[in-house]
Structure 1
């Protein structure tokens, strides 16, 4: 008699964001038995990504490049080549990451950043899915409390004004920002949505401000988890508590949608951080657990801190351990 075998479905986890925090979580999460989808911001307009998006009108490749590497099982030599950044003395190629140029070349060949990332995902043996939040570059706008406005992700923090809200527009003003293929269905079919860690106004919210994505995040039955930043950021979250971060997210989507917040409670040692290298950071985010609970959130507060290279980061393994506890608790 033949025994029947049943394939147990891996839980579906969608991680939304950008910047340097997202790859840390993905790198740890890919070692677990989960079906990962990364939704990556396309509002970056600075550095190599900004130059490329302005030259050939494509979604900026930098955050996508870092996510592809984080989810790939390529040998280290290959990923080092993909991540190689030309020296600033190299004139025409100065400061460009080789991977950005490769993504740009394939996007031009295929006529789509989305298609380029799918092809590279196969070439780089990515276990999971990587989607740009939109297939076209988006322009981030910030409206400040004094009524003035900044246009462009790289411009928002310069004047260090208090941000009231942000929104996105297509680079072509006649087009409405649209979610890339499969992004909305991935969110609606997920068991868990993870936001962050990353810059609140410039890495996380640009994704949610695409109306289709914001609506999907509001509608999804998935457990929605926000990983709160460890440090405040110049021109973005100065003087913010952890509850202020969540309040801003809820205000932008016009309803409470965060189920659980992960908060680091470990102190950064005095004098450890090199603020010349990490010049966008200010002080540790303060805690307001009562206000968090008033936002309808469950709070998980513990040591998520990792100190490395005179900088402050989330410990990906510790965060993922907590995410899995929440995920399997929610499914049981």
Structure 2
């Protein structure tokens, strides 16, 4: 659907301002649907990823990991699908030098080197890719995710944390290059939060995609102080080494605990059962079981629970239906005004 053919809904003569905070593979699904439903989107993306192509590039070039940023740029781009396919192309395993790398990751890394910071690089690439909206890395410097487990042990690094298969007590972020430096969100991130109609958390890995953003101190302060409604899109499946045995209420409780206040206003919960034996656990090896429901617990953690069939099944995977989720987000934006 072209931009000119979208249904335009406005708040006080303008498009609804939606800030989405997160990372991982679930985020672009929601962003693409919000994009097609004409929201004015700002995506705030984690820079604490240390796995896959992003992690390898980060180790060799010392730049912010580009993978999540790449996927978000594509989800908001009005560029020709043929060009986007090139940007997303990942070299095959037999290409030993480039094996596993996406072309977009290499372009982001190159622009970051040229501009000497990830924020300016992403803004330049956003113009080149005809991005409708804003894509903001949460910080200009690479961040390291740290976790303390219930047994008192401490581990650094997203991959190491989830690999422990232990219950996480809390997480925090540190500057990868300077442990003494306080991680800080760029001013544009703070301004977007202050100006938002609604702020969306997720979907995505709770401890490794959502909380790394919220643990940047000036971002969490802005989130606590702003007047926008905060919506959390609860995950459909639990994840190994992160949310094993978690209910939907447990997810929300962890967010509120890390923020130090009950800041989540609305939670979107999928009510449609996941068919038995549908999910390909080899392909989606991070998933475990459907998230259990605890509606009494949810009501104690937030103001509003919206339960609906948000399930989308394809490619033997379990996903959110982006269009249904986007409509609920925009409904909340209009109702809050």
Query: Is residue 2:268 matched to residue 1:262?
Result: yes
Deviation track 1:16-63 (CA, whole Å, cap 9, x = no partner) reads: 000001100000000123211000000001111111112222111000
For the residues of structure 2 that align with 1:153 and 1:275, how far apart are their CA atoms? Answer: 21
Shift of 1:243: 0.3
* Counterpart mapping for 1:118-267 below 5 A: 118-171=123-176, 172-267=178-273
Which region of structure 1 is more displaced relative to structure 2, 199-208 or 215-224?
Answer: 215-224
Query: Is residue 2:20 matched to residue 1:15?
Result: yes
For the residues of structure 1 that align with 2:52 and 2:293, how far apart are their CA atoms? Answer: 33
Query: Is residue 2:69 matched to residue 1:64?
Result: yes
For the residues of structure 1 that align with 2:333 and 2:179, how far apart are their CA atoms? Answer: 40
| Match 1:29 to one of 13, 22, 34 | 34
Could you list the structure 1 runs, at least 4 aligned residues long, displaced by more than 4 angstroms after superposition.
none
The aligned residue for residue 293 of structure 2 is 287
For the residues of structure 2 that align with 1:222 and 1:241, how far apart are their CA atoms? Answer: 26
For the residues of structure 1 that align with 2:23 and 2:311, how far apart are their CA atoms? Answer: 19
Structure 2: gaps of 5 or more residues: 1-11
For the residues of structure 2 that align with 1:238 and 1:103, how far apart are their CA atoms? Answer: 34
Structure 1: gaps of 5 or more residues: 1-6
For the residues of structure 1 that align with 2:302 and 2:208, how far apart are their CA atoms? Answer: 24
Partner SS for 1:106: helix
Contact 2:267 2:302 survives alignment (8 Å):
no
Shift of 1:251: 0.5
Deviation track 1:246-287 (CA, whole Å, cap 9, x = no partner) reads: 000010011100000000000111111110111110000011
Shift of 1:181: 3.5
| Match 1:54 to one of 55, 59, 71 | 59
The aligned residue for residue 7 of structure 2 is none
Shift of 1:90: 1.2
Partner SS for 1:93: coil
For the residues of structure 1 that align with 2:205 and 2:95, how far apart are their CA atoms? Answer: 30
For the residues of structure 2 that align with 1:78 and 1:157, how far apart are their CA atoms? Answer: 34
Which region of structure 1 is more displaced relative to structure 2, 47-56 or 222-231?
Answer: 47-56
For the residues of structure 1 that align with 2:303 and 2:162, how far apart are their CA atoms? Answer: 28
Partner SS for 2:200: strand
Query: Is residue 2:106 matched to residue 1:101?
Result: yes
The aligned residue for residue 3 of structure 1 is none
Shift of 1:297: 2.6
For the residues of structure 2 that align with 1:17 and 1:78, how far apart are their CA atoms? Answer: 25
Shift of 1:72: 0.3
Task: Provide the aligned length of Structure 1 versus Structure 2.
Answer: 325
For the residues of structure 1 that align with 2:125 and 2:233, how far apart are their CA atoms? Answer: 28
Contact 2:248 2:298 survives alignment (8 Å):
yes
Deviation track 1:182-202 (CA, whole Å, cap 9, x = no partner) reads: 001100111100000000000
TM-score, length of structure 1 as denominator length: 0.96
Partner SS for 2:140: coil
Shift of 1:77: 1.0
The aligned residue for residue 44 of structure 1 is 49
RMSD: 0.9
